[in-house]
Structure 1
Amino acid sequence: MTDALHLSESAAGSAPRDNLDFRRVLQIFLRTWPFIRPSLRHILGFIGCSAVLGLLGILATTILIAFATTGIMAAKPLGSALVAAYGLDPAIYVDVETLSDEARLALTWPTLWTAVVFTAIGVVGAALLYYYSVWIFQQINQRMRVVLIDRLQAQSLAYHASAQTGDAIYRLYQDSAMVTAIIRFVLVEPLMAIGRYLVGVAFVFMFSPLLALTLLFAAVPIIWLGRYFSPKLRAEFRAARERNSALTSWIQESVQGIRVIKATANERHRSMQFDSLSLAALGAAFRSRFSLNLLGIIAFALIGATVVALQAYMAAMSHQGADVFARDLLLAFGFAVWNFGTYSAASARTGDAAGSLGALISIWGRAQDMAIGLGRVFEILDLEPDIVDRETATPLAPFEQEVRFEGVRFGYIPGKPVLSGISFTANAGSVTAIVGPTGTGKSTMMSLLLRLADPDSGRVTIDGVDIRDVTVDSLRHGISIATQENILFSETVRENIRYAAPDASDEDVADAARVACADEFIERLPQGYDTALGERATKLSSGQRQRLVLARAIVRNTLILILDEPTAALDAETELEVLARVKAWAAGRCVFLITHRLSTVRQAHRVLYVRNGGIAAAGSHDDLLESSDAYRAFVEAEIG
């Protein structure tokens, strides 16, 4: 059963946890500032334009209510300021008890044109602002993702040995996207909602202070509701993200291992596992969304009850024809007393203010999910890389003499060493074969040479200089490696060979392919070196992929070369040809061969037999056959 399934089952058996409080949530949001700051000018511009568009909407609504409700429907006189702005005759529209039928009919065209113009401005402005916001938010997200991938790549092999690939993908792709949501839902939309709420309260205050106070006090139970639901929401959102992360890891593992699944007729079992994981993720997502919607429903009920009560009060005031509170100020817009037009205007602003309260509680609920997602991102960003340059580190000098391991101990897990007391010297111009049973640390030794991890004790030196005293970039630029995994990318053959040496010429690429005996099959491909390999180069045989990886190491033209099982997928004839060419090319270089094949071992000047994390024997192949019982037994076991 996969790690993802174990994670799902363990999560299913435990209650969701909330390890965040309001202060921690606020700290997470504040930590996004370095990613937001470069776009601050654009964000402020977006907020300013949105505010202008919102105020235009309020202005349009007020004008249309005055024209349509007060003037056309109720036949009441209009405000002097509005009449003057539209160039209408005050004697017809202001200084009268009621509007004539001709005057009401004449108002139809200003009303229609006002609606058309403001609607056009609103639609075009909203569309432009939407695209502007997408551009701003994606710039911010891009900054976070670049930093996140850099931090993941900076971690040592010890970290990646225990980390799930799918979880890293989910954090990089899904969790990091919360930084864009935080701008919208924690900064922009709350500011706009608060602005609409305060404008609505202020507008309603001019009609009736009691209405405004009621709207203000309506926020109290809404705030308490958000505080009460927050811990539950955060716990359930975390569970949902962890379940989806586990599902992503499982899918990544299944796609990568599809050949094994099909070859073992294991599709049904994997489908059952997927069903279990997918249902667990669905259930976690459902529970979190149910709680979020429950919060919204309760808030809606409270806000709705408030709005109904306020509208009943406004209807009563309109029935009485009572004076509005700020009569002198509102008279310019035609709102001197409570009537149908006054009721419509005040009701619209009351609904807008109450709706803003509902929007704020919805935003707060979503913010809990954002905090969880960003918290998972910062868990990665807070990791300190194990492998960093010392302050006194200098570039690696050109290799001349030797590579030396001195009493090296290392383990991926504390207290469980993989290597113990490794000491040997490899000279320039030599080929050193590292052999031994599977899992004894052969590849780990070369990982230490590349500083993919650092020894727990002891040291690795190049020409007498501890590799921890040279910069990591210069060290890795001075060493080439052909990995055991034969990892290729969905680029062309040429770009795959040139991957580790982007400046290599086409001639260099072709020369490296010839040394790796890859030139013949490359030339038979449909577009030769320009043939795209596709994902994981599955159309090539294992031997062809292995030779491309070898060519990629050779094209770097370094003086230290690591070949990890370089001929494992090759037939005997091709193996001998590849080894002969590599040996001729590597004259004067320091070459390490990690291998199980005796035909490859025989090409080495020196053999290191690794067993139980230490070097059990060292010498030439022939000498070890005579002097080392352990090595002889290993060779006989390999021969069968």
Structure 2
Amino acid sequence: MKKDSAQRKTGFARLMELAGQKRRKLIVACSLSVLSSAARMVPFFTIYSVISILIMSRFDLSAISRAQIGVPAGITLASALVYGICAYISSALAHTAAYDVIYELRIRLMDKLAKLPSGYFTATTQGSIKKIMSDDTEQIEVFIAHHLCDIAAAVATPVFTLLYLFCMDWRLALVVLLPILISFLLLGICLARPDKAALQTEMHDAQEAMQGTIVEYIHGMAVIKIFNRSLSAFRRYEGDITRFVNAVKKTAKANAWPMAAYYAFFGAQLLFLLPAGVLLLLRAEDYAGFLPVVFLFFLVGSGLKEPIENMMQMVIVSGKIIEGVSRMDGILLAEEISEGTGAAPQEYSVSFEDVSFSYVDGVKAVDHVSFTMRQGSVTGLVGPSGGGKSTLARLLLRFYETGEGCIRIGGVDIRDIPQEQLTHIVSYVFQENFLFHDTVENNIRMGDRSATMEQVREAAENAGIHDVIMRLPRGYQM
């Protein structure tokens, strides 16, 4: 077997690695988003400039020149234009990069799935694969197209604003910063929980199990009703939903008090600014000159909540994205089944030579088994449930690779036989059935797309199901 060549990076670094050559486009998009966020803040400072002019002139409009009002107005219009252009180009670049990344990622996932041993699919639910291929990739697309640039802007806006506020008055800037630091401390307590990763994993596992059960429940509804197993099947369905709900409640309960305190302090800038601003204003030597500064802090300082809150929301979203990326790596970094060298057996005796295999490390499902099935003979494997009979059959088809020993067909190691040729040599009837969402005819033709209708009927007759199919409302087109 061989492993995917991707380096085992994790988190955001792994996401950027998956973005590949689109990283440059994303860097440009984020840079333009930062520039647009800076342009968005300009009107606040031009308003401050106008207020200063009005206060210094004691609101005597005749003492104010057109240039004193026209320049701030022109700067405001220019900043609005810069904001619109940068935001548009940033969004366009991020969206095109996101679509390209998701397209390439889904192609990689599909290509990888085609190279995995069939045992991977028996051990993994359809709902789990569906969640990775659809939901997790969709979340990454949304993250790249929207949240990535939002994070850049959400980080840049408070940084630019705080730097400017510190230049205006460091005392009031510290007052603005105080509730933010307290809320960050509370958020850090929440994020630093030792069981945070375990809670996220538990919730994702519960969601995957629930989706897998839903898919299996719907697909197997006909069989469930025929054998009157509705109650037991529903209990499993209900149990997985309950498990997911409990996992969500457990995560919410663990974060309830720190997050409540975080939000209480996070929006409290005015509560701190108002007494501090009034106190400093009363002690100011230049009352008229300091009053616009206080207005600026009331206007801008209280507005810091939105960009920082957006940044915190993006951090939470990033955690979900990182968890989704790690699950994709469960596919992308999984061991592939090696392709045979092209050796073809000349006869079809099957021999197991000292074969051992474990589903779980340390627990052998098959332990040093050796026997031979001669060509033209009929061999039956008899043993208790869980004795390894189905495992031996799956090993013959390379659903899994043997841990020790080898299996030969006509003296040729099955690992040297191309997978497509091996599936033509060995036929396998599964204990579990699966029908594609298609006609009966196309389900039978799945093994040979070139088969004629006569060959499809012949296969059905040989399997003893032709009469059953003909009793269906639309026969083979059902």
Note the C-alpha offset of 1:447: 4.5
Give 1:193-342 correspondences, 5 Å limit: 193-215=154-176, 220-230=181-191, 231=193, 232-267=195-230, 270-271=233-234, 273-289=236-252, 291-292=254-255, 294-318=257-281, 337-340=289-292, 342=293
Distance of 1:26 and 1:289 partners within structure 2: 29
Measure how far apart 1:250 and its partner are.
Answer: 1.6
> Which residue number corresponds to residue 347 of structure 1?
298
Mapped to 1, the partners of 2:368 and 2:466 lie a distance apart of 29
1:36 corresponds in structure 2 to 19
Which amino acid in structure 2 is aligned with residue 517 of structure 1? R
Aligned counterpart for 1:136 among listed residues 71, 85, 97: 97
1:117–1:275: structure 2 CA closer, same or farther, 3 Å change rule?
farther
Q: In 1, are the aligned partners of 2:210 and 2:244 still within 8 Å (CA)? A: yes
State whether residues 29 and 371 of structure 1, in contact with CA within 8 Å, keep that contact through their aligned partners in structure 2. Answer: yes
Tell me how far 1:127 sits from its aligned partner.
6.2
Q: Distance in 2 between matches of 1:407 and 1:234?
A: 43
1:19 is aligned to none
TM-score normalized by structure 1?
A: 0.57
**Displacement of 1:47 after TM fit?**
0.7
Name the counterpart of 1:543.
none
Matched, 1:62 2:45: yes
C-alpha distance 382-454 of structure 1, shift in aligned 2 (>3 A): closer
- The Cα offsets for residues 372-421 of structure 1, whole Å up to 9 and x where unpaired, read as 44444444544434x324xxx62345x6x312322344656443339943
1:185-238: CA deviation from partner (whole Å, max 9, x where unpaired): 985444322311221111112211223344556554444333321225433332
1:145-197 C-alpha deviation (Å, 9 max, x unpaired):
44445555544455444443333333444445554566579854443223112
Distance 1:516 1:144 in 2: 37
Aligned match of 2:366: 417
Aligned partner (choices 338, 343, 352) of residue 407 of structure 1: 352
The structural deviation recorded for 1:348 is 3.2
Distance change in 2, residues 1:455/1:201 (3 Å): closer
Give the distance between the partners of 2:445 and 2:21, measured in 1 at CA. Answer: 35
Residue pair 2:154, 2:310 contacting (<8 A) in 1 also: yes
SS of residue in 1 equivalent to 2:457? coil
Contact kept, 8 Å, 1:406 with 1:423, in 2: the verdict is yes
Q: How has the CA–CA distance of structure 1 residues 457 and 65 changed in structure 2, closer, same or farther, with 3 Å as cutoff?
A: closer
When residues 316 and 214 of structure 1 are mapped into structure 2, their CA distance, relative to the original with a 3 A threshold, is closer
Letter aligned with residue 191 of structure 1: A
Query: Structure 1 residues 454 and 316 mapped into 2: Cα distance closer, same or farther (>3 Å)?
Result: closer
Q: Residues 415-454 of structure 1: matches in 2 within 5 Å?
A: 415-417=364-366, 420-426=369-375, 447-454=394-401
Structure 1: distance between partners of 2:243 and 2:395: 40
Q: CA deviation at 1:251?
A: 0.7
Alignment of 1:465 with 2:412, yes or no, is yes
Work out the CA distance in 2 between the residues paired with 1:26 and 1:315.
52
Query: What is the aligned partner in structure 2 of residue 53 from structure 1?
Result: 36
For 1:322 and 1:480, the matched residues in 2 are separated by 94
Q: How does 1:600-619 map to 2 (within 5 A)?
A: none
SS at match of 2:216: helix
Give structure 2 stretches of 5+ with no counterpart. Answer: 1-7, 471-478
Q: After superposition, what is the alpha-carbon deviation per residue over 1:514-536, rounded to whole angstroms, capped at 9, x for unaligned?
A: 33436xxxxxxxxxxxxxxxxxx
Q: Secondary structure at the match of 2:371?
A: strand
More helix by share: 2
Q: Verify the 8 A CA contact 1:167 1:246 in the aligned structure 2.
A: yes
Q: Give the alignment partner of residue 99 of structure 1, picking from 61, 85, 104.
A: 61
Structure 1 residue 444, shift from structure 2 partner: 6.0
Provide the secondary structure at the position in 1 that maps to 2:366.
coil
Match of 1:637 in 2: none
Cα distance in 2 for residues equivalent to 1:474 and 1:280: 41
Structure having greater relative contact order (Cα 8 Å, sep ≥ 6): 2
Aligned with residue 515 of structure 1, among 455, 459, 462? 455
Q: What SS does structure 1 have at the residue aligned with 2:204?
A: helix
User: Residue 451 of structure 1 aligns to a residue in which SS?
Assistant: coil
Aligned-partner Cα distance in 2 for 1:75–1:337: 8
From 332, 338, 349, give the equivalent of 1:388: 338
Matches within 5 A, 1:163-174: 163-174=124-135
**Deviation at residue 131 of structure 1 after TM alignment:** 5.6
Contact conserved, 2:33 with 2:149, CA < 8 A, in 1? no
- Counterpart CA distance in 1 for 2:56 and 2:175 is 29
Alpha-carbon distance between aligned partners in 1 of 2:199 and 2:390, rounded to the nearest angstrom: 42
Report the counterpart of residue 474 of structure 2 in structure 1. none
Quick one: distance in 2 between partners of 1:433 and 1:517?
27
Please say if residues 434 and 442 of structure 1, whose CA atoms lie closer than 8 Å, have aligned partners that are also in contact: no
Asked if the contact 1:145/1:176 (under 8 Å) is kept, the reply is yes
Report the Cα distance in structure 2 between the residues aligned to 1:509 and 1:271, rounded to whole angstroms.
39
Alignment deviations for residues 292-344 of structure 1 (CA, whole Å, 9 cap, x no partner):
565443223333344432343334445666559xxxxxxxxxxx92224x433
- Structure 1 position 249, deviation (Å): 2.0
Which residue matches 1:616? Answer: none
Q: Which has the larger radius of gyration?
A: 1
Distance 1:124 1:434 in 2: 75
CA distance in structure 2 between the aligned counterparts of 1:396 and 1:375, rounded to whole angstroms: 37
Residue of structure 2 in register with 1:84 after alignment: none
**Matched position secondary structure for 2:290:** coil
Cα 1:474–1:134 change in 2 (3 A) is same
Contact 1:410 1:418 (C-alpha < 8 Å) held by counterparts: yes
Q: Residues 135 and 344 (structure 1 numbering): CA distance in 2 closer, same or farther, change over 3 Å?
A: farther
Unaligned runs of 5+ in 1: 1-24, 78-95, 325-335, 519-545, 551-565, 575-640
Amino acid at match of 1:278: I
Cα distance 1:465–1:240, how it changes in 2: closer, same or farther (>3 A)? Answer: closer
User: Retained in 1: the 8 A contact 2:132–2:328?
Assistant: yes
Aligned equivalent of 2:473:
none
What secondary structure is seen at the aligned counterpart in 2 of 1:254? helix
CA distance 1:498–1:48, change in 2 (3 Å): farther
Distance (whole Å) between structure 2 residues aligned to residue 260 and residue 295 of structure 1? 49
Is the 2:397–2:423 contact (alpha carbons within 8 Å) kept by the matching residues of 1?
A: no
Decide which moves more: 173-182 or 114-123: 114-123
TM-score under structure 2 length normalisation: 0.74
Cα distance change on mapping 1:141 and 1:211 into 2, 3 Å:
farther
After the TM superposition, which residues 151-170 of structure 1 pair with which residues of structure 2 at under 5 Å, given as runs?
151-170=112-131
Superposition pairs of residues 2-13 of structure 1, within 5 angstroms: none
Tell me the CA shift for residue 58 of structure 1.
Answer: 1.4
CA distance in 2, matches of 1:184, 1:343: 38
**Distance in 2 separating the partners of 1:158 and 1:460:** 17
| Code of the aligned partner of 1:453 | Y
Alpha-carbon distance change, 103 to 265 in structure 1, aligned in 2, over 3 angstroms = farther
Tell me which moved more, 242-251 or 345-354.
345-354
Q: CA deviation at 1:571?
A: 5.6
Describe the SS at the equivalent of 2:156: helix
Distance of aligned partners of 1:66 and 1:202 in 2 relative to their CA distance in 1, 3 Å threshold: same
Q: Secondary structure at the match of 1:417?
A: strand
Q: CA deviation at 1:254?
A: 0.8
* Cα distance in 1, alignment partners of residues 250 and 88 from structure 2: 34
Seen in structure 2, the aligned counterparts of structure 1 residues 60 and 216 have a Cα distance that, compared at 3 Å, is closer
Q: Is the contact made by 1:261 and 1:267 (CA closer than 8 Å) also made in structure 2?
A: yes
